[in-house]
Amino acid sequence: DAGVTQSPTHLIKTRGQQVTLRCSPKSGHDTVSWYQQALGQGPQFIFQYYEEEERQRGNFPDRFSGHQFPNYSSELNVNALLLGDSALYLCASSLGYRKGSGNTIYFGEGSWLTVV
């Protein structure tokens, strides 16, 4: 039973560039959420995808966008990278789209992004 997988694990980008991070959810899961975790802090919610649509969004600018594919995998895109975008980007998957009903979310290992 494959867990949540993310790629790449590490990458370095230059300010102003664009980056795409990828996520495959846990087998059987259909909902994907993305989080940003800066060094020494807890994860911050970016957005959540279900049925290929963005369902909810956190306090992140439009430079952060995403996509979910028919096979439930997802991408996170960040445009015009800033130094402050350097962080661990975590993908989490869950089953169903329920309002805080206790459906558990499972995290991948994350993608470390360094912007120089």
Partner 1 sequence: TQLLEQSPQFLSIQEGENLTVYCNSSSVFSSLQWYRQEPGEGPVLLVTVVTGGEVKKLKRLTFQFGDARKDSSLHITAAQPGDTGLYLCAGAASGTYKYIFGTGTRLKVLA
User: Which residues of this chain interact with partner 1, rule CB under 8 A?
Assistant: 4, 33, 35, 41-45, 48, 55-56, 58, 88, 90, 92, 97-102, 104-110, 112
Q: What is the DSSP string of 80-97?
A: S--GGG-EEEEEEEESS-
Beta carbons of 4 and 27 less than 8 angstroms apart: no
* Cβ at position 36, least distance to partner 1 in Å: 11
* Cβ at position 59, least distance to partner 1 in Å: 9
Nearer to partner 1, 22 or 107 (CB): 107
Nearer to partner 1, 84 or 100 (CB): 100
Rounded Cα–Cα distance for residues 71 and 6 (Å): 15
* Cβ at position 114, least distance to partner 1 in Å: 13
Rounded Cα–Cα distance for residues 91 and 82 (Å): 21
